[in-house]
Amino acid sequence: MSDVVEALAQSKLKYDNKPASKARKWLAVLSGRIVYYNTVLDVLVQQYPEYVSLAWGAMKFLFTVINNHEEKTTQLAKAFSRIGEILPRTDLALILYPTDLMGDAIADLYAKILKFVVQAVKWYKKNKFVHSFGAIGKPWALSFKDDVEDIAAQSRYIDELSSSASKAELRATHIDLLEAHAEVREARIEIRYIADLIKAKTILLAQNPLGIKSEYR
């Protein structure tokens, strides 16, 4: 990850003299969110450790080779930033609702993110000749539109799962509260009955103490 952070810093340095640069803005945002990608790659390292360095290497490669193209740098940093923004929410969803359905949904999200990285590298290599001559190739936004939309849709699905699980949890809590209230009402009735019985015995004792005693002789 440190190599990616360094690549982002070097790329951002190029635009530091342009305060209004969108590339500078999104590189700064991504620098603060790149750490969230650790979670995705930590999952990957458990099964395919050899691919983790390749994933970080791909991200470093992308931000190094497009450094001189401000628009492409802006779009790439913006996309990675937007993806990084949703990762903490998905981690929290899995912690709060560790169901098989949630686990599968998050695994699908991670797979789509890795696919996005791979597609980005393929896009650059495919258009390398075009880039070399500064010509206008297929716009970045169109090249990755489907991948970015798939990631966004999967994120919304995870949010919906979290919302449904939360509502089910609230429903269960509501039922528990109703049962607790019913038990409290029953306990109050029992206490009231005992209190009335004690009161009646106390009044009887006050009115005829000898009569009460005679019952126990």
Q: Which helix (H) or strand (E) holds 159?
A: helix 145-207
User: How confident is residue 123, by pLDDT bands cut at 50, 70 and 90?
Assistant: confident
Task: Check whether 132 has a pLDDT greater than 50.
Answer: no
| pLDDT tens-digit series, residues 153-200 | 988 999 888 888 777 777 777 777 877 888 888 888 888 888 878 877
User: How confident is residue 139, by pLDDT bands cut at 50, 70 and 90?
Assistant: low
Helix (H, G, I), strand (E, B) or coil at 42: helix
Q: How far is it, in rounded angstroms, from Cα 115 to Cα 67?
A: 22
Q: What is the pLDDT of residue 19?
A: 75
Q: How far is it, in rounded angstroms, from Cα 59 to Cα 197?
A: 80
| pLDDT tens-digit series, residues 84-122 | 888 888 878 878 888 888 888 988 888 888 888 888 777
- Each domain of the chain, given as residue ranges in start order, spans 2-173, 175-208
Q: What is the pLDDT of residue 3?
A: 72
Q: Is the pTM of this model over 0.75?
A: no
